[in-house]
Amino acid sequence: MEPGSRVDLGAIDPDGTPGLPGKAGKRPKAWARQELEKVGIELASHQERLYANAKAAAGRRRVLLVLQAMDCGGKDGTTRRVAGTMNPQGLHIVAFGTPTPEELAHDFLWRIRAAMPTAGYVGVFNRSHYEDVLIARVHEIVTPDVWRARYAQINQFERDLTRNGTTIVKVMLHISFEEQRKRIEQRLDDPTKHWKYNPADVDERGYWAEYQNAYQDALSECSTGYAPWHIIPANKKWYRDWAVASLLRGAFRDLRLTYPEGAFDLAAERRRLAAATVPVKQRVTRR
């Protein structure tokens, strides 16, 4: 969304598929699933170059995907499907839950800073510092003057991150009230999904409108030129996965990452390698 603009979530159709190309045709789901594989291969390639630059050329770049959504909005599924296309060794995935006593003893950005991906890594935040202007506001964990002041702190924080080499891709997965109900129901219907069911999720549904309001404000206040928010209609999982992966691909493409050159004399190294002799036999050390 445009920095400075005011979002109206009610005007965005959670069933929509904006940006889906005409070539997706009459079976857009099959197309999007197949396309996700291709996008995923490209993501893994970008990720390797990101890692290579940090490892061999002191590159400072990192990429952070921030996922926010209502309960059952698809944060876990998106993480699995999108991050799952990349090399797990180069990922730094952090799911933020209820703050611990230690985290509460610090400012709200403390645990976020500690969870940042290091250079060369792709970070994924499943929930984030935005919870501190969402649940903290809806449940009045802090007073209005506290959460209102956080918008500016978040913007400052994200500006510092981007200035220091972090590309931030912020995504709100936008589902409908009815879609949330369906998904909660699916968890109740399937015994292998009972572990995901939390009775508190039904209580939270009572705060739907308050959350949507809190989201609208947070997205509006914190969509900046350096770290804009993207609202992805997320009732259709196949669209959601393709859309988020494509966003991430776009961010990577903008970085134009190339493989670093080796900091060694190629011909000399070839000679050294050829000169190393095969050990004739395994020497045995007496211990």
Token readout for 33 is 């699933």
Distance from C-alpha of 239 to C-alpha of 39, rounded to nearest angstrom? 13
* Segment 124 to 143, residues that bind a copy of itself, using CB under 8 A: 124, 126
In angstroms, give the least distance from the CB of 22 to a copy of itself.
32
* Segment 95 to 124, residues that bind a copy of itself, using CB under 8 A: 95, 124
Nearest to 70 by CA among 248, 216, 221: 216
In the list 68, 79, 166, 167, the residue contacting a copy of itself (rule: CB under 8 A) is 79
* Segment 210 to 229, residues that bind a copy of itself, using CB under 8 A: 210, 212-213, 217
In the shown chain, the binding pattern of residues 8 to 47 toward a copy of itself, with x for contact by CB under 8 A and - for none, equals: -xx-------------------------------------
β-bridge partners, 122 = 63, 91
**What are the CA-CA distances from residue 269 to residues 53, 260, 265 (Å)?**
21, 17, 6
For residue 94, the surrounding DSSP H or E stretch is: strand 91-95
Choose the binding region for a copy of itself from 17-25, 127-135, 224-232, 263-271 (rule: CB under 8 A). Answer: 263-271
Cβ-based nearer residue to a copy of itself, 90 or 162: 90
CB–CB of 71/180 below 8 Å? yes
* Segment 155 to 194, residues that bind a copy of itself, using CB under 8 A: 177-178, 181, 184-185, 188, 191-192, 194
264 binds a copy of itself (CB under 8 A): yes
In the list 19, 84, 165, 250, the residue contacting a copy of itself (rule: CB under 8 A) is 84
How many positions of this chain bind a copy of itself (CB under 8 A)?
Answer: 64
Task: Tell me what percent of the chain is helix, strand and coil, each rounded to the nearest 5.
Answer: 55, 10, 35
Cβ-based nearer residue to a copy of itself, 80 or 113: 80
Distance from C-alpha of 148 to C-alpha of 126, rounded to nearest angstrom? 23
285 binds a copy of itself (CB under 8 A): yes
Phi and psi at 135, nearest 5°, equal -65, -35
Burial class (CB in 10 A: 0-12, 13-18, 19+), 54: buried
Exposure string over 118-150, b if 16+ CB within 10 A, otherwise e: ebbbbbbbbbbbbbbbbbbbbeeebeeeebeeb
Phi and psi at 243, nearest 5°, equal -65, -45
259 binds a copy of itself (CB under 8 A): yes
Distance from C-alpha of 63 to C-alpha of 47, rounded to nearest angstrom? 9
Choose the binding region for a copy of itself from 13-21, 158-166, 240-248, 256-264 (rule: CB under 8 A). Answer: 256-264
In the list 12, 93, 141, 251, the residue contacting a copy of itself (rule: CB under 8 A) is 93
Which residues of this protein are in contact with a copy of itself, per CB under 8 A?
9-10, 52-53, 55-57, 76, 79-80, 83-84, 86-89, 91, 93, 95, 124, 126, 144, 148, 177-178, 181, 184-185, 188, 191-192, 194-197, 199, 202, 205-206, 208-210, 212-213, 217, 259-262, 264, 266, 269-270, 272-273, 276, 278-279, 281-285, 287
